[in-house]
Amino acid sequence: MFTSPRSTTHPPATRRIRPVAARMTAALAAAVLALSGCGGSEQAASAPGASASAGTGFPVSVQHKYGTTEVEAAPQRVVTLGLSDQDPVLALGVVPVGAIDWFLERPYGKWPWAQPLWAGKAPEIVGERDEFNLEKVAALKPDLILALYSGMSKDQYEKLSKIAPTVGQPVGFDDYAAPWQDMTRLAGKALGKEAKADELIAGIDAQLAKLAGEHPEFKDKSVAVVEPYEPGKYAVFAPSDPKVVLLTKLGFTVPKAIVDAAGKEYAAEIGSEQLSLVDVDKLVFLTADAGTQKTVEADKVYSTLKVAKEDRAVFLPYEEPPLGAALSFSTVLSIPYALDQMVPLLAE
């Protein structure tokens, strides 16, 4: 059964998805998300917000899922408990002193878009997914705890709040479903860096607009983002999924058939016999390893599609380089990295 990375019941490898969660777990065990050593590093090193200047405007009141948290002074020791919370915090110029494991793989130093901003300062690992080690968190003496992209419970929130001011998930969204912009703004509010957060978001919006202008051939072309999670089985992401949203910002459109098939879910599960659903102008596959692409191309139904015959499919791996991971991670740091390497492939 397919579960998308933005699951309200299980944390993602990035928003509700079994293939991403299960596949990336296995892949990570084989160093799928190890640094590729290519692309993105210089950009991250010079990213806006890389300075460590303190925030301003304190005290600040931050609204979130469990109420309002008062942050009295500019945080100096931040612990991030969300699966991707370290990215907006790093982008805003703060290096977390504590973080959590990403599906049994430590986040420190493993992402090319974020590695330079850690500056060699490895965080203490204080849990895995939504299982937080309160003793380890307390031992770090944090002055701010963020659990934005998480499934933190009310009970966990109350216990953490006794350790330090704690900011939970953004208001108005299911767990793991808040857009990256909302999480970036919430982190910016808590850190006293709202203006910098807005600047980072505006920068990505400008990059998307620029790329769309440079590639008018994308406009109104149909697109599908697909996860081949087992031989003959595919997950087709809904238009609300962050990966698909990013492509629509470049000018692509999602066919109504896909919208209808996904319904209220984050993805539609289909078998090979339904692959005509994704016979679109540009088909984007997220692949776990080199063998996945070969498996897809060997699918007899897939080979009959016009998109296959005309070689209009793009395969984005989770490693070497981690383009699929960057697109799925969908943060203020990973999106520019993904765009820089993905757009030339879409334009081929």
Which range among 14-23, 108-117, 339-348 shows the weakest confidence by mean pLDDT?
Answer: 14-23
User: Confidence band (pLDDT; 50, 70, 90) for 104?
Assistant: low
* Residue type (1 letter), 113: W
pLDDT digits (tens, 9 = 90+) for 154-170: 999 999 999 999 999 99
Tell which residue, 133, 184, 190, has the closest CA to residue 166. Answer: 190
Structural contact between residues 118 and 109, judged by C-beta atoms closer than 8 angstroms: yes
Among 55-64, 90-99, 318-327, the minimum mean pLDDT is found in: 318-327
- 28 pLDDT above the threshold of 90: no
Find residue 237's DSSP bridge partners.
267
* Least reliable range by pLDDT among 9-23, 72-86, 266-280, 327-341: 9-23
pTM of the shown model: 0.84
Cα–Cα distance for residue pair 26/73, rounded to 1 Å: 42
Q: Identify the band that residue 54 occupies on the pLDDT scale cut at 50, 70 and 90.
A: confident
pLDDT at 33: 28
Question: CATH: 2.60.40.1840, 3.40.250.10, 1.10.10.10, 3.40.50.1980. Which one for 213-347?
Answer: 3.40.50.1980
pLDDT higher than 60, residue 340: yes
Task: State the DSSP string of 120-136.
Answer: T-PPEEEEETTEE-HHH
What is the mean pLDDT of the segment spanning 160-189? 96
Distance in angstroms (rounded) separating the CA atoms of residues 22 and 19: 5
Strand stretches in the chain, DSSP E:
4-5, 16-17, 60-64, 67-71, 78-80, 98-101, 124-128, 131-132, 144-146, 166-167, 223-230, 233-237, 267-271, 282-287, 313-317
What pLDDT does residue 30 have?
Answer: 28
| Range with top average pLDDT, 25-29, 139-143, 285-289 | 139-143
Q: Is 70 exceeded by the pLDDT of residue 269?
A: yes
Residue range(s) of every CATH 3.40.50.1980 domain in the chain: 56-192, 213-347
Q: What pLDDT is recorded for position 348?
A: 86
User: Does residue 197 carry a pLDDT above 60?
Assistant: yes
What tokens were used for 71? 């942050």
Instruction: Please determine, for residue 43, whether its predicted confidence score (pLDDT) is greater than 70.
Output: no
Fold topology of 56-192: Rossmann fold (3.40.50)
**Residue 338: is its pLDDT beyond 90?**
yes
Residues 110-157 pLDDT 10s: 789 999 999 989 899 999 989 999 999 999 999 999 999 999 999 999
Q: What is the pLDDT of residue 98?
A: 97
